[in-house]
Amino acid sequence: MMKAYVKTHKQKGFTLMDVEIPKKLGSHEVLIKVLSVSLCGTDVHIYNYDAWAEKRIKPPLIIGHEFSGEVVKVGSEVSRVKVGDIVASETHIVCGKCDFCREGKGHICSDTKIIGVDVDGAFAEYIKMPEDNLFVDTSGVDPSLLSVLEPLGNAVHTALHFDVVLKDVAVLGCGPIGLMAIDVLRCSGAAKIIAIETNETRRKLAKEMGAHVVINPLCEDVVARVLEETNNNGVDVVAEFAGNAKALELALDYTKKGGSISILGIFKDKVEFDINKVVFKGLNLYGVTGRKMYKNWHQIDKLLKTKKLRLDKVVTHKLNFNEMDKAFQIMDEKNCGKVVIKVSK
């Protein structure tokens, strides 16, 4: 038996309970002892059981998708990993058969299953995963930090989809993924990184992660300040993480002609903006979902091996496995970076 946090009922909260350790492994499946997990906004939706969760989540379900672990057992035909490997994981299990998967676009697979959302997840002492999903770490990074590699992949996808080398880049929204995007941009040669964030704690973290300029949109005219910082041209690239309609509308004004905006933020309502700004400025808009399989993971590997990432700074809280409710209280307050929970030694 193992301990796991399970969404048992259609109401707020999770239940810590004993469940069976996954026993039957497919020929290409791997059993992993979970070392650490980290919390995501999706987990908050499920914890609170809001309108989105009510439509998507079908209890009982083991929750959680961001994790690191140690391989303890492998299926009969597994060749990519071995017992003892320290791993993180791509959390989208894709079909491999649809047109998108066959075109190398697994991140938009027609039949994606997300662990901790559609199938049992990682807030448990053990989890089984397809071997193809696993990222074997050889960089020597503290395993307690490896659980954040999945959202780091979102940051890499968003920040590096467009050319950022020697470019001016605005990061719109400095939650954990936005903060990691700043880190990625700093390591990838961006000329000037401009962070835009309302939360004071996260503005300070943005500076620590490497932002050259930090703007509080509640106190400053964002468009005027960005233009001032860019010789009145605007930024080359905007990496959007806020999910705020007004903020996105303003971004169209401070993105330079021919510039690009990659959009990861989730918007609660329909967004209206002047499409003619996109047309006449020649802007490129790109919607980000998941991580490119497995290009973004290869980029993560290279970034880790530079030893320049500041993952220890983006992880602001480390808790024990029995402190899950406290972890969600911290998330609700939003005065945090990533919240990591230690599961096993």
pLDDT in tens, 183-210: 999 999 999 999 999 999 999 999 999 9
Whole-number percent of the chain with pLDDT over 70? 100
45 is catalytic: yes
How much is the pTM?
0.97
Encode pLDDT of 160-186 as tens digits.
999 999 999 999 999 999 999 999 999
DSSP secondary-structure letter at 132? G
Whole-number percent of the chain with pLDDT over 90? 98
42 is catalytic: yes
Residues 6+ apart with CB under 8 A from 165: 188, 189, 190
Encode pLDDT of 21-45 as tens digits.
999 999 999 999 999 999 999 999 9
The rounded distance, in Å, linking the Cα atoms of 61 and 116 is: 7
Encode pLDDT of 212-269 as tens digits.
999 999 999 999 999 999 999 999 999 999 999 999 999 999 999 999 999 999 998 8
Where do we find the tokens 């609170």?
Answer: 48
Residues 6+ apart with CB under 8 A from 319: 326, 327, 339, 340, 341, 342
**Confidence (pLDDT) at 321:** 98
Please say if the pLDDT value at position 345 is more than 80: no
Local structure of 55: helix, strand or coil: helix
Structural contact between residues 240 and 261, judged by C-beta atoms closer than 8 angstroms: yes
The rounded distance, in Å, linking the Cα atoms of 63 and 47 is: 9
Where do we find the tokens 């990074």?
Answer: 141
Structural contact between residues 121 and 37, judged by C-beta atoms closer than 8 angstroms: no
The rounded distance, in Å, linking the Cα atoms of 72 and 20 is: 16
**Confidence (pLDDT) at 219:** 98
**Confidence (pLDDT) at 268:** 86
Residue 101's CB is within 10 A of a number of other CB atoms, namely: 19
Closest CA to 310 of 241, 229, 239, 211: 211
φ/ψ of residue 257, rounded to 5: -60, 135
Q: How far is CA 4 from CA 114, 121, 220, in A?
A: 17, 9, 46
Residue tagged active-site, from 45, 65, 157, 317 = 45
Residue 278 banded pLDDT, cuts 50, 70, 90: very high
Residues in the chain: 345
132 token code pair:
């193809």
The rounded distance, in Å, linking the Cα atoms of 143 and 299 is: 18
The rounded distance, in Å, linking the Cα atoms of 314 and 149 is: 12
**Confidence (pLDDT) at 18:** 98
DSSP secondary-structure letter at 340? E
The four Cα atoms 172, 174, 179, 182 give a dihedral, to 10 degrees, of 30
Residue 301 banded pLDDT, cuts 50, 70, 90: very high
Q: What is the mean pLDDT of residues 97-109?
A: 98
Q: Kindly tell me the burial class for residue 13, based on how many C-beta atoms sit within 10 Å of its own C-beta (0-12, 13-18, 19 or more).
A: middle
Residue tagged active-site, from 42, 112, 158, 316 = 42
213 token code pair:
């300029």
Domains of the chain: 2-147+310-342 (3.90.180.10), 153-287 (3.40.50.720)
DSSP secondary-structure letter at 166? T
**Confidence (pLDDT) at 60:** 98
Please say if the pLDDT value at position 20 is more than 90: yes
Q: Which amino acid is at 76?
A: S
Where do we find the tokens 């300029």?
Answer: 213
Closest CA to 229 of 204, 264, 192, 278: 192
The rounded distance, in Å, linking the Cα atoms of 26 and 19 is: 20
Structural contact between residues 152 and 302, judged by C-beta atoms closer than 8 angstroms: no
Q: What is the mean pLDDT of residues 304-333?
A: 97
